[in-house]
Chains A and B, each alone.
Chain A
Amino acid sequence: QKEVEQDPGPLSVPEGAIVSLNCTYSNSAFQYFMWYRQYSRKGPELLMYTYSSGNKEDGRFTAQVDKSSKYISLFIRDSQPSDSATYLCAMRLPGYSSASKIIFGSGTRLSIRP
């Protein structure tokens, strides 16, 4: 079993819809959670970073962590065609501040239809 599981998609939704992207994980000790966005033929870029449980909002994006369920989500409101990309969740344990300890999900491909 992988430490971090992510539905690969593809997920296709119409423009303006609310998108929900999710990851589950097996290690309850994970404390730091990230979402990266990767456009086609580009490298990943950090979108959101959250610590422990709760919500974090940044414009149209909301990251949610439910540690009791070992489940994290990224919500995109008023989705735009420019949001079409692969979204990777990532997480790491406390006490390991090196980026080398970040575990990535395999990504969900999202397509927003105009």
Chain B
Amino acid sequence: KQEVTQIPAALSVPEGENLVLNCSFTDSAIYNLQWFRQDPGKGLTSLLLIQSSQREQTSGRLNASLDKSSGRSTLYIAASQPGDSATYLCAGMDTGRRALTFGSGTRLQVQP
């Protein structure tokens, strides 16, 4: 059964800093991986999807990588802003399934 873990659970950084959020998964049968943002009391906003054949995906200041052999994905946020403050979730999709398995998230606070 796929297990997804995110470290750290919480992170506080000053504005302008570059940062890396980590996601690890136990089963290499993972097919692709999606990163989401969740604001307090709100739904999940899709940020990036890394396809099975890709090693990374970029959108603006965000860059996500996927290394199936090591069971890891990272989300890199460049030049962080207070508006980036939210919980970031990674979720993996296993081969042959559509269900997403979520990590517990990293709660990010960017201090102005």
Partners in one complex: no
Residues of A within 8 A of B (CB): none
Residues of B within 8 A of A (CB): none
